[in-house]
Amino acid sequence: MQKIMVCIKRVVDYNVRVRVKPDGGGVMLDGVKMSVNPFDEIALEEALRIKERLGNVEIVAVSIGIADTQQQLRTALAMGADRAILVQTDTAVEPLTAARTFLSLAKKENPDLIFLGKQAIDDDANQTGQMLAALWDRPQATYASKLEINGDKATVTREVDAGLETIEIDLPAVVTADLRLNEPRYVKLPDIMKAKKKPLDTVSLDSLGVNAGSLLKTVKTEPPSQRQKGILVKDVSELVDLLKKKGLL
């Protein structure tokens, strides 16, 4: 294995309380802390661990978004990625557009493995990895909770509804990371300073021949309904009576 491409996304930090715009036209982003999508961070950590085990492996972090997305790519470089590529665009990117963009980069970079998080926490689409594998015409292993590289093959343990499923795939391939694959490392200040000297290239979406046309239309964004106040009951029989009154039993 010589190269791993890790796809990351800039999202609202998971610790931030998301607020909806008053007109329902989306989420308020002004002044909000942005971070690397947590599942993508797990994917990057796994790529770094593979490099530590195998040795001479180049890790390329790639992302799509506005110019400020360089901040998240610098975080990826501080974690240990060798170089980064930003596909800059001011247009909101849908999963299919992202998959086509990563495919274009894959054709240029020829990676042995492409890593993504299983989903992004902003839209929860869980589509980009699968679409990329289909467009690239390569095997895929989604929801990975364990990964082993054996020459030109990878053994992946997947989290499925019935439990765990272990499959073997040929490389190159696309793998999406699940929550329990690993715990990402803490980025230290010296690593942040070193990351400033690592290469970060910027290309436009048009230069890759990808059309950022919109296939989806968001009709309205609404906050979740507030939880109702709980009721304290004296015993099980009172609980059962209340549930029957609410039509839940």
What b/e string do you get for 32-68 counting C-beta neighbours within 10 Å, with b at 16 or more? eeebbbbbbbbbbbbbbebbeeeeebbbbbbbbbeee
pLDDT confidence band for 193 (50 / 70 / 90): very high
The CATH number of the structural domain formed by 3-220 is 3.40.50.620
Provide the mean pLDDT of the chain.
92
Share of residues in the chain with pLDDT > 90 (%): 71
Confirm if 128 and 114 have CB atoms less than 8 A apart: no
| Burial class for 185, CB neighbours closer than 10 Å (0-12, 13-18, 19+) | middle
The pLDDT of residue 53 is 93
Per-residue pLDDT tens over the stretch 157-179? 998 888 899 999 999 999 999 99
Per-residue pLDDT tens over the stretch 2-21? 999 999 999 999 888 888 88
pLDDT confidence band for 222 (50 / 70 / 90): confident
State the angle between helix axes of 38-54 and 70-79 in degrees (0 to 180), rounded to the nearest 10.
30
Alpha helices in the chain (DSSP H): 38-54, 70-79, 95-109, 128-136, 189-195, 236-245
Per-residue pLDDT tens over the stretch 53-97? 998 999 999 999 999 999 999 999 999 999 999 999 988 889 999
All residues at 6 or more sequence positions from 126 whose CB lies less than 8 Å from its CB, including other chains = 118, 119
Q: Average the pLDDT over each of 113-117, 120-124, 245-249 and give the range with the smallest value.
A: 245-249
Tokens, residue 88: 């800059």
What average pLDDT does the segment 240-248 reach?
88
pLDDT confidence band for 190 (50 / 70 / 90): very high
